[in-house]
Structure 1
């Protein structure tokens, strides 16, 4: 609570008055952060306009979004809480699906075509794994330049997107083993 209080610039007591439970606090933090960094309206407008450069920029910005150490620590705490709390786990899974949907839309615009669908899904999963790992890497090795790592991930992702778009077999090759790059959760 103290970390949330400090980041929000309000007293701990005020947090308890404004929210009915811890899950409501976490949900609001996740919702606000997600709304801010997903910037879905910009992505959707760029896709509607057919603005490939803006969609590429959205992908790059998404990958390189604010990697402040405090945010990484908060994410780690939310992940840990999700292992103990079904409501937080459900929120986390919903957030994962929302992010995945945005990435899929962006990549479908940048590398369209049904034949590229599996490769796009694998790339989305790779992006998700890499980005979830950044804050944990920073916790394990605080001296690692996370901004530089995020920039390198962005370069790798955009290179993969270019390979998908051009149809390079190195990028659109055979599918990964069953379960890799797919969402194993049942649909609701």
Structure 2
């Protein structure tokens, strides 16, 4: 059965893997330049130097190419050696650094592509599903990291809330970067991370008061509470 889920493929080695990388690199470039909606498979094939028929053997659809790009980008960050080892060793310093990097704008990661995917999600159910899968995967990765800083069943719902907040902030900062520029987005990201850190320390019982963060306590939705109960 052919689906829009990108098939599993080794990232390195083999002509097939190299060809897929050429296709996704070409698609990434065209999506940024022209937008997802205005980019056709024939254009991607021409840009990558791969025949249209062969491209369809590697990817069932344009959405499948998006799925591979999203999976590759999110996987690269979530599988970074420092955070994998940091969580395994419960190294708080490594986890703090990784969470900081999650929020700070990356000049090598064009936010315009992410914004394009988010926009396309509103009109394309297939892209919306891809984005939802990515969102859930990143959320799970954030939860694993936050658990090192905030362990215990009694704060499980707070961990969910903190992960939700980081995802919300990261998407907002990406838009802010596009509108106001990297320097301003970086300044706001540093402020957001400081607030996040203060809230975590408050939940751990440190000297910082939760009210110093945003004036309100962090309360997950009823749906989340039911799920975690």
Instruction: Give the TM-score taking structure 2 as reference length.
Output: 0.65
- The gaps in structure 2 that reach 5 residues or longer are 1-24, 33-42
Structure having greater relative contact order (Cα 8 Å, sep ≥ 6):
1
Aligned twin of 1:133: 172
Could you say what secondary structure the match of 2:110 adopts? helix
C-alpha separation between the residues in 1 aligned to 2:184 and 2:27?
A: 23
Cα 1:151–1:5, aligned 2, differ >3 Å: closer, same or farther?
same
Q: Deviations over 1:83-140 (max 9, x none)?
A: 1222211111111111111111111111111121122221111111111111222334
C-alpha separation between the residues in 1 aligned to 2:80 and 2:132?
A: 18
Query: Aligned to 1:34, which of 46, 66, 74?
Result: 74
Residues paired across the two proteins, number: 181
Aligned twin of 2:153: 114
Aligned twin of 2:193: 154
Instruction: Give the TM-score taking structure 1 as reference length.
Output: 0.77
Q: Which runs of 4+ in 1 moved over 4 A?
A: 167-170, 172-175
- The gaps in structure 1 that reach 5 residues or longer are none
Residue pair 1:38, 1:62 contacting (<8 A) in 2 also: no
Cα 1:143–1:56, aligned 2, differ >3 Å: closer, same or farther?
closer
Could you say what secondary structure the match of 2:122 adopts? helix
RMSD of aligned residue pairs (Cα, Å):
3.4
Is 1:59 aligned to 2:99, yes or no? yes
